[in-house]
Structure 1
Amino acid sequence: MSTHAHDNPLDRERTHLLSSRAALRAMREDVESLDIRDVTANWVNAEVLARQIDERVKALADLSDTPLFFGRLDYLHAPGAERAEGAEGEQFYIGRRHVHDGEGDPMVIDWRAPVSQPFYRASKKDPMDVGLRRRFGYTGGDLTAYEDEHLSDPGESARTSKLLQREIERPRVGPMRDIVATIQPEQDEIVRGELGATVCVQGGPGTGKTAVGLHRVAYLLYAHRERLARTGTLVIGPNRSFLHYIEQVLPALGELTVRQATVDDLVGHVEVTGADDAAAAVVKGDARMAEVVRRAVYSHVVLPTEPVVVVRGSRRWRVPAYELESIVRELLDRDIRYGAARDALPQRISHAVLVQMERAGEAPDDRVQDSVARNTAVKAAVKAIWPAVDPAKLVLRLLTDAEFLAVHAEGLLDEEERKTILWAKPVRSVKSAKWSAADAVLIDETRDVVERTHSLGHVVLDEAQDLSPMQYRAVGRRCTTGSATVLGDLAQGTTPWATRSWGEALAHLGKTDGVVEELTAGFRVPTDVITYASRLLPHIAPGLTPVASIRDNPGFFAVRPVADATEVVAACAELLRHEGSTGLIAADARVPELTEALTAAGIPYLAPGEETTAETRLTLVPASLAKGLEYDYVVLDEPQAVVDGEPDERTGLRRLYVSLTRAVSGLTITHTAPLPKQLA
């Protein structure tokens, strides 16, 4: 390194960046050059190993637009060492992934490592043995700025970091980015929570709850890699466009193995081609349906009245009805799945026969027990006493056979509720049925009564406020032996069955010991915008703390009366002069008219979830799909139409709250009709 580089700290940091990139390249080349011919005994092992190497190479990719490190910590003492007088502390560069040089010495430390924690948590009050915290600023992948905080210098006052602020307010084009450089102390506490703990994050718009959830998965995979590699992790989002929007975050953090799905994907045992009206969906999504389903499944068990007679050679062995009945009752009392009990029944009957054989002086072994269990008389008895249940057929019968439903819903659903969910027309078969999304959840519940659902190690559930109790149960089944991170905002619940309280949600999820954390600092939504949107809170979620924007940049905010759609398009054209993405959000019913107006004006646009490019930065968003998305600039067309597009006013106002809070830098509201009175 030349001597003048030592005088200019920025040059010195750029040199470290270049050598870190070279070290990462060397790490990647090491993996690529591995010769696996001698270590693999057969082609199956070779395939597995080759795939693991391939994944490792991918994980070591140097993403050009993603800075390798974003911070530096200068410790006063060596971490973990006795604080000897005059002992020099170490310097660590904090980045998205670990990088080491040829000798194995770290060049960049993973942000998830314990030694990186003070980067997020240290403060003037508690410097955590850090003398200096340095943040780096990048422009198009080049290191162009740095900013120092002397945490243990009593003379320097605490101040908001300009680079941090700039990174938070940076325009967004394309999918969601990670927030690894800007995680705040209250977010970091949630991110680094214990694996076994379920946490529910209530966070208003722009508080970073989605990012916190994704970084928590990345952290848990780092801290418990082997365990989670066995048990698996899953991120659940509300729809495809949302999942597409967030899907780049984990790979940027070096995590490639996390599955992403919607609740509908999880319960996709039948093809969904039908739709419920709101009233039917509310009843089908009610937790009482779980008990209706359970009763219906177990109603198939018939207590035996006849003995079972097993013929072997010249001998007949008779298991009397009263003994069979006590075997069946004992299986019913045990808390095991319907299918597991059905599989155990022939073995129990066989055991009763073996006891008689032994009493008669025979010495039967395991093979005899298996052969008796497979005896035709035993099989016939099992079929009569504990028949197999097909989950889809059972749900079909509940929805089409009024008498069958009445028997199993007695004391649970009243007559009106039963009528609401019964299908009007008879349906011949499971294949010809027009299943709705709520029916698919009922089938999933039934399957779980019959056989246990596979459980994962950790599940992240985003936009949770829109789930029905039965959907929560479906998610809960997938983490019975694991933990969950639940993310949502009660004020943004827009389904007729939206969550009323997080305590209720956690109970349906089977995680009553879950802790609720509230994020109230807004990093992404400008002050004027969030203040305006918060006027709706008393009407939609009276108990919630309004989000307080902590942004320096006030952004801009305008309410503009317009005559027609061409003026709405003109407002979009104005915003497109700025850098970044623009969303035109409108009531679903207004989308066709706005489509025509945009086409007539020659302005290209995308559908939600499609990636913005330099040429096409405008997305036309139906209000029903706006949740979870964000744009630098938003034109919100006709707020009253957004409210009117929903079945009731409260849901409409919640949909409006969601639509109002999608802007990161500026919002223009256009309207011909008067604005909703709640905004006055």
Structure 2
Amino acid sequence: MSIGTPEPLDRERAHLTASRTALRAMRADAESLDIRDVTANWVNAQVLQQQIEQRIEALADLAHTPLFFGRLDYLHAPGADQAAGASGGAARSASGGGGGGRREGERFYIGRRHVHDADGDPMVIDWRAPVSQPFYRASRKDPMDIGLRRRFGYTGGQLTAYEDEHLTDPAEADTTSKLLQSEIERPRVGPMRDIVATIQPEQDEIVRAGIGGTVCVQGAPGTGKTAVGLHRVAYLLYAHRERLARTGTLVVGPNRSFLHYIEQVLPALGELHVKQATVDDLVAHVEVRATDTARAACLKGDIRMAEVLRRAVRSGITTPTEPVVVVRGSRRWRIPAYELEDIITELKERDIRYGAAADALPQRVAHAVLTRMEAAGEAPDDRVQDAVARSQPVKAAAKAMWPPVDPAKIVLRLLSEPEFLARCADGLLSADEQKEILWAKPGRGVKSAPWSAADAVLIDEAMDLVRRTPSLGHVVLDEAQDLSPMQYRAVGRRCTTGSATVLGDIAQGTTPWATASWQEALAHLGKPEAAVEELTRGFRVPREVIAYASRLLPAIAPDLAPATSVRESPGDLRVRAVAPEELTAAVIAACRESLEREGSIGLIAADARIPALAGALTEAGLPCLSPGEETSEQARLTLVPASLAKGLEYDYVVLDEPSAVVDGEPDVRTGLRRLYVALTRAVSGLIVVHAAALPGELTLSA
């Protein structure tokens, strides 16, 4: 490993300046496009104009975001497949001339987006291109035809340093990149950043996995699983843009605070139009105005409810007792009840969606009429069958046998009518379980009913039983360990014909219905064949902190291997015992101490302690933000309820009274998992302040 000297640094700065000039020229070219004479109609013109505007937006030069962060010097010219990915059809050296450039040892600058000069020669290569892959995966053991890998260091958007690795030089020592370590440990203020400059080989394998299969990532705290999932979306949009433009992509997160925290990652990578939502957003078919008990929520999220709903949706299907008589001209055609019953039985056994069967039933009855007409010597065609299917006798009979279903009204009946629930849940839910999920005071209609978040998921299930939910091309599901089986099904419906990236950590499951294993969760999602990848090497959480938190693993997730960390930060973990009357003052003092350091600070506490701490911070003159509000140099302290801490990270964390975090949950195991989450939000330092005794697991040696 060698550190850069001034003369090459000047040349690299000149290339950065030239690249920024080329990017501005690319944007100016897009802005100057005149489409008035190239579109056939106003609809095409609007579509094309929108595409141009998106292109202009994507070509924005972000002053504080490095345009490139690395350089690869190949020993030989890359293969045709790699070269095509470098410049959309031709690979030319970023420092060589046109007409193919240097063929003996191509040089490529790796950055967040592709930049080319006026001749079309690449000056910066998109990190997702095949030719960029060795930047993340090349090693001395497998140099991947790379002679030199150069990393760049920046300060405020200005190139200030570089560091070289000569991967084929046996004399050069194999040491950790100081620039890479510095970038990983850089203090953070504001929303989550991309990790495009620091992606590790095991992360890159997941990022570049093919679109054809679903990938599940079990990731310990600080291993970058969320960032991996977001970069995977960016990679898939690069590699399969046309396909995903048609089918769509979606990122599903646990709450609005989390989505706000990650919302700048994809735009920084040039992907501006990926939708983000919570599970509650996906199933927002009714207004949620009530909260279930933990037991009721668990039961409503239980996989058994899928069959209860299926029975409820089909409960109105009746066996015909009268024939259908259709008059055509002077003839009467009669379909007896037993034949109608056969049609109903066949449709039920095919188990197609209720609405599709309702659409098919009149056509099946009409086909039976046409069969009789043909047997009598007539020659009816498809138009006759359609006319018979639309005739009043057939429509009335079909509606009686297979009546229309309103999904919300069906769920309303289930939750408010004990007799109906008992029929649909017979053999599935006990009498006590049925009583638990029934509303105490049901509303008179859909709009006035006391819907809960779990009820909305049930309505979504019923809607899919009636009509198929449209499928997207790819869905990223983060913090997936906290979903119920019915919530997994709701997300799975959005990617039945597409793929998914599932991210989570079994040890951080803090809902009463949290999944016990990824195999079980993936089965509910409808992706049982998905590969499960495990990330255990942490990059953000200091080694002492993750070792301290990992003392909880035997109690909360005994099958998981403890995470390791590449960071050694002695003194970054401090545990302070104080008298009960001194607790709040000690927490405020710890916040002041943390604010003296660079970066963001999170004060995490049990939800019940938040009002008291908010008042104490105000009295102490320390302004604080709520989760989801963007930190800045002027406001770096965020007061975080433990229930909202998942997925968030802060440079320094002050954890108030761990025992209160545990006691705030319905059971000890869930409480210890919530504590594990709170302990692992720090990326530089953690101060634990407590008056009550610590949970026994934390007092044991690591």
Q: Which of 524, 537, 552 matches 1:521?
A: 537
2:366 maps to 350
SS of corresponding position for 2:495: coil
Contact 1:6 1:12 in 2 (8 A): no
Contact 1:555 1:665 in 2 (8 A): no
SS of corresponding position for 1:8: helix
Contact 1:526 1:555 in 2 (8 A): no
The more displaced of 614-623 and 328-337 is: 328-337
Supply the distance in 2 between the matched residues of 1:348 and 1:428 (Cα, whole angstroms). 37
2:246 maps to 230
1:65 maps to 64
The more displaced of 396-405 and 500-509 is: 396-405
Q: Which of 666, 671, 674 matches 2:693?
A: 674
Supply the distance in 1 between the matched residues of 2:22 and 2:242 (Cα, whole angstroms). 26
- What root-mean-square deviation, in Å, do the aligned CA atoms of Structure 1 and Structure 2 show? 1.5
Q: Which of 122, 146, 153 matches 2:138?
A: 122
Supply the distance in 1 between the matched residues of 2:135 and 2:670 (Cα, whole angstroms). 41
The 5 A counterparts of 1:129-528 are 129-528=145-544
The more displaced of 299-308 and 657-666 is: 299-308
Contact 2:442 2:450 in 1 (8 A): no
Supply the distance in 1 between the matched residues of 2:239 and 2:422 (Cα, whole angstroms). 51
Gaps of 5+ in 1: none
SS of corresponding position for 2:199: coil
Q: Deviations over 1:498-545 (max 9, x none)?
A: 110001001101111101111000100011111111111111111111
How far is 1:24 from its partner? 0.7
1:581 maps to 600
Supply the distance in 1 between the matched residues of 2:422 and 2:589 (Cα, whole angstroms). 58
Which letter does structure 2 place at the counterpart of 1:142? Q
How far is 1:71 from its partner? 0.3
The 5 A counterparts of 1:521-670 are 521-554=537-570, 556-562=572-578, 563-670=582-689
How far is 1:426 from its partner? 3.8
Which letter does structure 2 place at the counterpart of 1:658? V
The 5 A counterparts of 1:88-103 are 88-103=104-119
SS of corresponding position for 1:643: helix
2:48 maps to 49
Supply the distance in 1 between the matched residues of 2:583 and 2:237 (Cα, whole angstroms). 52
User: What is the TM-score normalised by the length of structure 1?
Assistant: 0.97
How far is 1:169 from its partner? 0.2
Supply the distance in 1 between the matched residues of 2:428 and 2:43 (Cα, whole angstroms). 54
How far is 1:367 from its partner? 2.6
How far is 1:7 from its partner? 7.6
The more displaced of 482-491 and 545-554 is: 545-554
1:79 maps to 78
Contact 2:152 2:161 in 1 (8 A): yes
CA change 1:326–1:675 in 2 (3 A) is: same
SS of corresponding position for 1:546: coil
User: What is the TM-score normalised by the length of structure 2?
Assistant: 0.94
Supply the distance in 1 between the matched residues of 2:625 and 2:41 (Cα, whole angstroms). 49
Runs of 4+ with deviation above 3 angstroms: 552-555
2:87 maps to none
How far is 1:425 from its partner? 2.4
How far is 1:420 from its partner? 1.2
CA change 1:472–1:81 in 2 (3 A) is: closer
How far is 1:567 from its partner? 2.5
Contact 1:72 1:135 in 2 (8 A): yes
Supply the distance in 2 between the matched residues of 1:485 and 1:81 (Cα, whole angstroms). 30
SS of corresponding position for 2:521: helix
Q: Deviations over 1:28-87 (max 9, x none)?
A: 1111100000012222222111111100111111111110100000000011279xxx96
Supply the distance in 2 between the matched residues of 1:233 and 1:162 (Cα, whole angstroms). 36
How far is 1:555 from its partner? 6.0
Contact 2:476 2:500 in 1 (8 A): yes
Which letter does structure 1 place at the counterpart of 2:328? R
How far is 1:552 from its partner? 4.1
Supply the distance in 1 between the matched residues of 2:571 and 2:534 (Cα, whole angstroms). 25
Which letter does structure 2 place at the counterpart of 1:582? I
SS of corresponding position for 1:167: helix
Contact 2:601 2:653 in 1 (8 A): yes
Supply the distance in 2 between the matched residues of 1:494 and 1:361 (Cα, whole angstroms). 70
Supply the distance in 2 between the matched residues of 1:440 and 1:112 (Cα, whole angstroms). 39
Contact 1:10 1:145 in 2 (8 A): yes
Gaps of 5+ in 2: 82-101
CA change 1:187–1:554 in 2 (3 A) is: farther
